[in-house]
Each structure stands twice: as C-alpha cells, then as structure tokens.
Amino acid sequence: MKALSGFYYVENGGGLVRCRARGKFRHTGQSPLVGDTVCFTATGEGEGIIDAIKPRRNSFTRPPIANIDQMVIVCTQAVPETDPFLVDRMTAIAVNAGVEAIVCVNKADEDPAPEFLEIYTHAGFRTFLTSAVTGEGLEKLEEALLGKFSVFTGNSGVGKSSILNILSPGVDIPTGEVSLRLGRGRHTTRHVEIFRTPSGALIADTPGFAAFDIERMELTDPEKLQYAFPEFAPYIDSCRFVGCSHTKESGCAVLRALKDGDLEPTRHKSYVRLYDQLKSVNEWKRKESSN
C-alpha cells in the first residue's frame, strides 16, 4: 500500500504490516512496488519480511507502481502549467502497457483550458475538467475510478493530492503551495501510497514530475511507438511505404491526416520527439553491442 524509507506497508486482514524486503530482491533487480501482491513472513507484532512478489499484470518505474487498471494524468494550464509533451509521454507509456490513460485537467477555477482539453478528447482519451477548489468535475472523475485501481501522475503542484483529499475525506495528505515566482510545484509528495475512498476506489498518490521534465521514456522499439498513439490507428495502414515512420515520408497517411486537421499538431510533434529519442537510444545500443 505504501513504500517509505525502505519499508513496505503491506495490507493484511485490514491492518498494515510494516515489512522489509529480503536481500535477495536487490540481487535479482526486482524489488517490491506499491500495488504488488506479496508473500511475507511475520517477524513480530505488525512487522514482517517480504519473501516473494506475485507475477505482475503491469509495472512502471516512473511513477513506481504495479498492477494498475488505469493511469490518471493530472495536468493544468494554470500554474504550474503542464507541458503537453509530458502528457503525451505518459499516455504513450500507459497505452504501451495496455493500461487506459485518463487525462484530468485540474484548476478549472483558474483556467478551464478548453483548447488543451480538446487535444486529448479529440485524440480519443477520456478527459475530465476538475477543480479541487470548487469541486467541479470531481463527481464525474470519481465515477470513472469506482471499483478500479488507478494511479495519479503528473507534474508537481497540479493538485493530485488535493483531489485525493476531497475524494477521500479524513486522510489529510499534505499539499504544498506552488512557487509563483518559479511557476513550479514544490515536490510535496515524496512517496507512493494507495488510498481507498469511501465510494470504493483505490487510488495511488505519487510524487510529481518536474514541470518541464523531458526524461526519456521507457519504451523500447521506435517502430512500436505508433501504436502508443491510438488516434494514428485509422491511418497507418494507408501509408505508401511499409515501415513508414510517420515523421517525414512522402505518401504518409498520418502526415496527410495531420495536414487535413484530423490529428492534433502537438500530439504528432510529441510523437516525432519521442520517436527520435527512441531511435537514438536504439542506435547507441546497437553500437555498444557491436563493439
């Protein structure tokens, strides 16, 4: 349910057991993640040691979480403004893992961001416009979370913990003022923790990304990236060349659709940026292995 300072808090029969992980996990390169189902041996009152991790349906490194049903990408066009590239990278990571990506545009009281929202609605994602101040949109969002295990992710300061505090009254997760001078959040949430709402949703709160985080994504194959942009699907079979990268080829049906206004320019721009990143990583790896 929670990972903090080298301890893993395992839910067992309604209570939490504070566990360490066996040393062997460090050597196998697989350590427990929040969201895992584990086997542990009790070592004392409310304490134990994790022996084994059950097979995972999915897992992610940023945010570190396993076995989720859906990923809620919380973002805003108020301060701290979310770079669409960050949203596009997260949707691609989710889709690539077979997990539904939901886009939640928060701070609607400060900026309802209709154009930003439309980018993601048009791309085919479920979208929500919310405010943790006025409560707008939170009922609808909650409905989408019922009976599921979701993770909240997004840049620091967008309001992930604030939304959770409303959906789960009584938990009182610390939230932090954003720095108006820097236009950034203050990285208030430092660990991953799952909360259970009274309505019956499991939601993991996670530490936010830096505002304009441009870290590489953990995908592997640039050729697979096209499938992580679901709105490209109707076009990719109509490209003139087999193996079209949809970045600059003539006769590319994706570029055609982009020109016709059927695809969102920022989505395609992010696709090209991710494609170039993945390609350079792959080339570097090929060189390494041929040396």
Residues binding Mg ion (CB under 5 A): 160-161, 188-189
CB atoms within 10 A of CB 182: 12
Q: Transcribe 140-184 into DSSP letters.
A: HHHHHHTTSEEEEE-BTTSSHHHHHHHHSTT--------BTTTTB
Q: Which of 168, 188, 270, 277 binds ligand GTP (CB under 6 A)?
A: 188
Helices 84-96 and 265-290, axial angle in degrees (round to 10):
60
Query: What is the 8-class DSSP label of residue 218?
Result: S
Q: Which does residue 244 bind out of Zn ion, Mg ion, ligand GTP, none, counting CB within 5 to 8 angstroms by kind? A: Zn ion
Only one of the segments 29-37, 135-143, 178-186, 254-262 lies at the binding site for Zn ion (rule: CB under 5 A); that segment is 254-262
What phi and psi, each to the nearest 5 degrees, are found at residue 228?
A: -85, 0
Q: Which of 106, 150, 245, 277 binds ligand GTP (CB under 6 A)?
A: 106
Closest distance of CB 192 from ligand GTP, Å: 11
Site string for ligand GTP, 194-233 (x = CB under 6 A): -------------xx-------------------------
Site string for ligand GTP, 32-51 (x = CB under 6 A): --------------------
**If phi over 0 gives left and psi between -120 and 50 gives alpha, with beta otherwise, what is residue 6?**
left
Closest distance of CB 124 from Zn ion, Å: 18
What phi and psi, each to the nearest 5 degrees, are found at residue 268?
A: -65, -35
Nearest Cα to 174, choosing from 193, 198, 155, 154? 193
Nearest Cα to 205, choosing from 232, 260, 247, 167? 167
Q: Which of 187, 196, 256, 269 binds ligand GTP (CB under 6 A)?
A: 187
Name the E strands within 70-140: 70-75, 100-105, 126-129
Q: Which of 51, 69, 109, 213 binds ligand GTP (CB under 6 A)?
A: 109
Only one of the segments 59-67, 184-192, 214-222, 255-263 lies at the binding site for ligand GTP (rule: CB under 6 A); that segment is 184-192
Q: Does 168 bind ligand GTP (CB under 6 A)?
A: no
For ligand GTP (CB under 6 A), the number of binding residues is 25
* Complex with Zn ion: residue 89 or 246, whichever CB lies closer: 246
The answer to whether 263 and 232 are in contact (CB under 8 A) is yes
Only one of the segments 121-129, 135-143, 182-190, 239-247 lies at the binding site for Zn ion (rule: CB under 5 A); that segment is 239-247
SS3 content of the chain, % helix, strand, coil (to 5): 30, 25, 45
Q: Which of 101, 129, 239, 263 binds Zn ion (CB under 5 A)?
A: 239
Nearest Cα to 167, choosing from 141, 193, 149? 141
The answer to whether 104 and 285 are in contact (CB under 8 A) is no
Q: Which of 203, 244, 257, 258 binds Zn ion (CB under 5 A)?
A: 244
Closest distance of CB 160 from Mg ion, Å: 5
What residue type is assigned to position 236 of the chain? I
Binding site for ligand GTP (CB under 6 A): 106-107, 109-110, 131-133, 156-162, 175-178, 185-189, 207-208
Binding site for Zn ion (CB under 5 A): 239, 244, 246, 252, 254
